[in-house]
Structure 1
Amino acid sequence: MQRPLPARLLAAAAALLLLALTACSGAAEPPPKDTRAPTAPTGVTATAGSATTVHVMWSAATDDRAVTGYVVYREGRQVKELPATTLMTDIAGLAPAARHAFTVRARDAAGNASPPSATVAATTLPANAEDRTPPTAPRSLRATAGGSRAATLEWTPSRDDTRVTAYDVYQADTRVHTAPGTATTARVTGLRPGTAYAFTVRARDAAENSSPDSPRVELTTASAPGAPPNTAPEHLTATATKGEITLTWTPPDTGGPVTHHELHLDGRFTTTIVWGATPPPGRATYTFPVQDPPGTRYTVTLRARLPDGTWGDFSAPRVVVVR
């Protein structure tokens, strides 16, 4: 005949079973649901760039986890959906000489939408289909670093047979800002510390005619506190002949010979340039073939391998057109 367990052992076994059930139950619980919406975007502006387009810009919203995108509305109807890294857009196909109102909302990964931003309005310009003359290029472009993440650009105004309606700021071959046609300055934000940048500006009129590029201007943002000195190759030039592109640059001063450089085209790694044990003195030159049709545009950057085996900072970008 089996003897019953003592009450003390039964109580201990019951306690262990309860702990095991509690642990299992806790492990199976789903993470708390994200119900908190992002903040509303601030600093929203709307600028008419032509008879049919308005340029909308805003400052980044915040979220307890992460903002994943923005939605732009015109008169309450959704017209654009953009990733979280994009803080401006052109709304095209609008009626000429008409007032249009815009708002922006932020979204997170759980689908929570922020309250709408403040409403901003812009009136598109009167149509002028006969205007086919572009403005002159902006002149005397200057750039000043505003700390480690911003820059201020200044230029001499362009001229046009009607009037300049907007200035588009390009970083390499990508538009990063649009200013009104009455402006001669622009502040570009969202830059990285200790990074070389190259900017140009184009003027635009109401018929969407764009000027040639202004002269290029370069700057390097301030390094983050405690960061090592910038190690980017300097004075990069890129020239195209039929079927080839030739690069020349000054390698960085690293305290030793720079035997390797990485070549990137349009932000993607393309090849490693290897000089061997004795790199050429002074400026370096490298020519590589291209098979793309004439008119193809490339943005070129370089970075050097440092004596400790790591890769240094990227050069200021250069845009080159295949011939």
Structure 2
Amino acid sequence: MANRVAQTYSGGSTSGTHVITFTAPTPGARLILLISSWSTLGSIPAGWTQDFSANGYNYVYVLSKIATGTETSVSLAMGDSRLHAVLHERDDCPRKLFNVANTTPTASMSAAATVPAGAAGRVFSVVNAPNGTAGSTTWNNGLAQHYTAAGTSSYSAFAHGAMPSSGAKSFTLSGLVAGTNQSVFAIVGYGTTDSQPPSAPGNLRATSVTGTQISVEWDAATDDTAVAGYGLYLNGEKVGADQSSLAYTFTGLTAGQTYTLGVDASDTSGNRSAQTQLTVMAEVDITPPTTPANLRLIEATLTSLQVAWDASTDNVGVAAYGIYLDGLRQGTDQAELEHTIIRLARGTSYTISVDAADAAGNRSPAASLTVSTLAGADPSAPLDLTASPGKEQITVGWRASDPGELPVARYEVLLDGRLVATTTALGLVLEDLDAGTTYEIAVRAVDTGSARGPAATVTVTVPTAEWVALASPVYRLGDWAGNALDATGVEWVVEEEDGWATGAEAITLARDSDTSDGGFSGPGKYGGRTIALSGVARAPSRMAMLAAQERLVQALYPHETGVLRVAEAHITRQANVRLANQMEITDTGGRTFEWGLILRAPDPRRYASRPVHVEVEFAPAQTSGSATVTLAGDYPGIPAKLRLIGPVANPVIRLDPLGLEIKAKPGTTLLDERYALTIDLATREVWAIVPPEVWPEPRLARSVLARFPARFALQPGPNTITLSGALVPGQETKGPRLVIEVADAWI
């Protein structure tokens, strides 16, 4: 315990309620509050005892209480600012031994008191002098002034000192200002007349030891008066308040840790015995709980399984249970004796396992149960599938599938067995197809449980091209085709080509760049591509020649962006281009002319004409899922377009083997399937899509990402993309989807 002046106080301009604040005392200490005031106190604060008071022209009070250790202030009610106080905290003042007071208008005053035999402790004094300053007062019997305060007609001084020897004592105060009004002072002694501590408690012993608690007992101490209680200590620190019992359990311990336990005795005078100590190691628990018994199925649905089990037992106590689905842990351990696993595939067999764990981390053998979700009916094949071919495209339409056990969520469209699109509509247009090629188109329904129904299929042939290849490769820009005979009979011959087949120019950029300019590892590796094409055109007539020249000009106007598609024997590749200079057209005869154009492709990649479409969903009963995107080509950094569809909270998209992550800021939530983020890795734009009643159109949303690495771009070969995140409350039966669209790319 601390022996200190906890606070001094002068009311200043305060009136009404005076609040004295102080740091929390040691539990069990006595708080002694000496007060000098111009007026009477309105009331005694709750929990405090008025040990003494006196009055002359003004007033003095002595209040005290035994501290609980939580006190940090005391409020005094007096309707005047002239209140002065001193608060003491003492561990040697268990009770009041004597008090005296006197009043006088003179410069000195005395009061007689009897100090009890064997007394030890402290004497406190306070004086209120209305006639003038009390700043020069002195006391006898070892009391020393330590604080003074002044107010009109109310001057205060405070003193304290050690308990003098026993017998009759005259306490004298000098140095007051004489006058007509009565000064008043009080002397109060606190302490004990019992200086003999109890004997130390005997035979301290451990009666129970576990990994987290130790129980002890001891024999009673003796005292010349009476033992009041026992104090408990853990590694030298007192634990709680004194108790009368001869047993105690220390809790919250760590297995394998050695502890020093102590107990002492106290008497009614506050004397404390020596400590009796014992060193004990908390038991290291190596015994696992028993295997959970009676693991059983409670309910099976199309997409969920609910199981329950009987409680395990343990030598210390079972802390929680772990749940596993086909060997994969489901969330964190839980205390409950049942669990529901959701977002499962219908009609599928699963092995559910449960083990028990104790506080020491010991785990029981697992109990296992093999059960199946209900089968139910899948959606039907889409009805009345139609496919209408057009110029390098096919328009596909169908009527809605009949739902099975669950509603239809979306439709998947496959081209020659390869997934190319998903949609919630009842049709779409497949573009950038090869003229004269026959395709098999399949459409299947996916329900809200991710079950896929049978596909409806149709075979359709895209119309042949309006041109005939004269040589390979064929260069196409809009409706113009080079190395081809067009529909009007004009032969377009490419005599020179530069910049397409030779690859992009390798450069070193002066600063870090993102994937939009070809950069893939900080400084970029390739700059933009310049493509020069030139040749001769031969028309069947003068009018056909003039029309052909106009068609060439209309293929790409200045400041427009077009797509240059180059069809080789084995592959068709393309690039987004703009005119670098004006087209050159020079007549060389009545029906022939030379032509030339220079194109600039800021993105140097030569892309495949059709993108790769891959989707990632959470694995059953998991909060993550992965898919592998395998890309052809040789360009070392390939940007993709990502569309993340809710519901999901705090999503993270990881790209391996690079180990890079796109990570949303904490708290980012896509509430349901109406909310999505579109991330363009080429332009590095991020767009948020929300329901139209929230916001009518997409909004820029780069700010929702906490991490968006510039090097996040796919590589040739296999790329593993993993989506992880948290389920959205209220949408736990649904998971998010990540749609990836990316094209093979070449240097």
TM-score, normalised by the number of residues in structure 2: 0.14
Higher relative contact order (CA 8 A, sep 6+): 1
Point out the structure with the larger helix share: 1
State which structure, 1 or 2, has the greater radius of gyration over its C-alpha atoms: 2
